[in-house]
Each structure stands twice: as structure tokens, then as C-alpha cells.
Amino acid sequence: MQLQDILYSQGFGTRRVCAGLVQQGWVAVSTTGVQGEYVPCTEAAADFDPEGLQLRVQGVDWPYHEKAYVLLHKPVGTECSQKPSTYPSIYTLLPAPMRQRPSKTAVQGIQAVGRLDQDTTGMLLLSDDGQFIHRMSSPKKHVPKVYQVTTKHPVDEVQVNKLLAGVVLDDDPKPVRAAACALVDTHRLDLTLTEGKYHQVKRMLAAVGNRVEGLHRSQIGSMALPADLAPGQWRWLSADDLQVLVASPL
């Protein structure tokens, strides 16, 4: 695969722009995977096996990924939208190439796997793999998501039992129930859901006579948000991470 095409596939611009980056000496490559063993390349049409290729573009290291799978710790006060209405977009937290990855669809770059409200923090997945997005977000797949909920009023066992039995939301006559619900203390609980309706956690707590004051998604599937990933930070998901994600703990 030509180097300019590899750069294009990673979101570094049009093929002409990518060829220019190479010809101007801004690209070095490593086929060994060893840190520091980068060799400058000024031939845009030079052929490389992209699998395992390490790129250094304008001084920034960039491993080749045929498909992008990313974990972001969403901070408060951000919107999961390419065109936010009030708050900054989560996409501004990601490198430009990730946002510009070419796609066969009308939307370029990676997409959030579901959405979190602007005041909700925690674990957010992003990808440009349509099958993966469907696998992780479709209600039919029943992928559990764990939310740490802080409530305005004390939570009691009656409310917990109602959440487990199912509550009726105003736009759906079919009861919606929590897959699991555990009291942490008087004003906190861990709530596990396997579907994602609009403002679902907030509406479920309202239906049992309480109110959400803080909301944090701590886990998706069998994978928990890493403790060392600070709000606003992101990282690539490994093959092992992907296997953990699709292994349901329920």
C-alpha cells in the first residue's frame, strides 16, 4: 500500500495533502515496532505493509489502525455531537486525523457509540466500524452499561425494587427496568441498564420519586473505565479490550 494512501486512510488529509507531507520530509516510518527506530521517507508512492506500521507525522507518533476503536473519559460540560448547540464537542478532545478519517458514509471520522448528556461523565466509546457501533449500541444486543448515580433525596429499598421491577416512562407504556441496582450509600447507587433511551436514568429516578444530581458511566460490557484515564483523556482500545467489551457480565 502506498504511503500516501496509508496516511489518507488515517485521516491526515486528501491524498494530495498526504503526498505533500511525505515529499516535504514530515513523515517517518517504523516497521519494527521498536520505539525510536523511525526512518524518514520522502517517496509518497513507497509501498509498505500497513499492518503493524508505526508512523511519525510532523513529530507525532501514530500507529496504523485499519479501524479506529477509542475509549474516551467524557468530562462534564461537553456534548456528544459534531455540531454542539451550547457546550464544546467531545470531538475537539481528539486529534484531527481521528476526526478526519475517510468514510464511505456522509459523516467523516469516528462516531460516538451512543451519547451521554452534557452533564454526564464517564466511559464513552468511539469508532468508525459500523458493525462494532451496532454491536455495542443496539438494544437487541443487551450490552450492559453501569452508571454511578448521585441522587438529590435519600434512596431506599422501595425505590431500588421499583427500578428492578420496571417503571413506566411518559413516552412508552412498556415498563423499563434496571438489569441491576445496588445501593452504595444513602444518596448513591449503581444502576445497570441494557438499553439506552433518551435521558433514561434521570427519567427512571424521577419515576420513583427521586432526582439525579450526578451521573457517571463507569462500565460498558465487562470493561470498566480505567482509573488512570483522566476526564478529557482518550486511548486506543486493544484487541484484548475489544474482547472484554463484548463479553457480557450478566
Q: What is the mean pLDDT of the segment spanning 39-67?
A: 95
Active site residue 117: yes
Q: Which is catalytic among the residues 47, 61, 117, 190?
A: 117
What is the model's pLDDT at position 249?
55
| 63-to-69, 117, 198, 209, 238 alpha-carbon distances in Å | 12, 31, 36, 49, 12
pLDDT tens per residue across span 111-169: 999 999 999 999 999 999 999 999 998 888 889 999 999 999 999 999 999 999 999 99
Amino acid at 109: G
pTM value?
0.92
Q: Are 92 and 77 in contact (CB under 8 A)?
A: no
Q: CA-to-CA distance for 15 and 99, rounded, in angstroms?
A: 16
Question: Cβ–Cβ contacts within 10 Å for residue 160, how many?
Answer: 17
| Of 147, 135, 160, 157, the residue nearest 199 (C-alpha) | 147
Q: Where are the domains of the chain?
A: 3-63, 69-138+239-245, 144-220
Q: CA-to-CA distance for 216 and 247, rounded, in angstroms?
A: 21
**Residue 36: pLDDT above 80?**
no
Residue 24's contacts (CB-CB under 8 Å, 6 or more residues apart) are 42
Same fold: 3-63 with 69-138+239-245: no
Percent of the chain exceeding pLDDT 70 equals 97
Provide long-range contacts, Cβ within 8 A and 24+ apart, for 97-106: 97/10, 97/11, 97/12, 97/57, 97/62, 98/11, 98/68, 98/70, 99/11, 100/11, 100/12, 100/13, 101/9, 101/10, 101/11, 101/68, 101/128, 102/8, 102/9, 102/11, 103/128, 105/130
The CATH classification of domain 3-63, taken from the options 3.90.320, 3.10.290, 2.60.120, 3.30.390:
3.10.290
> Per-residue confidence at 107, pLDDT binned at 50, 70, 90?
confident
CATH of domain 69-138+239-245: 3.30.70.580
CATH of domain 144-220: 3.30.70.1560
Q: Are 213 and 201 in contact (CB under 8 A)?
A: no
Question: Cβ–Cβ contacts within 10 Å for residue 40, how many?
Answer: 11
pLDDT tens per residue across span 224-234: 999 999 999 99
Q: CA-to-CA distance for 73 and 76, rounded, in angstroms?
A: 10
What is the model's pLDDT at position 33?
62
Collapsing DSSP states into helix, strand and coil, what is residue 240? helix
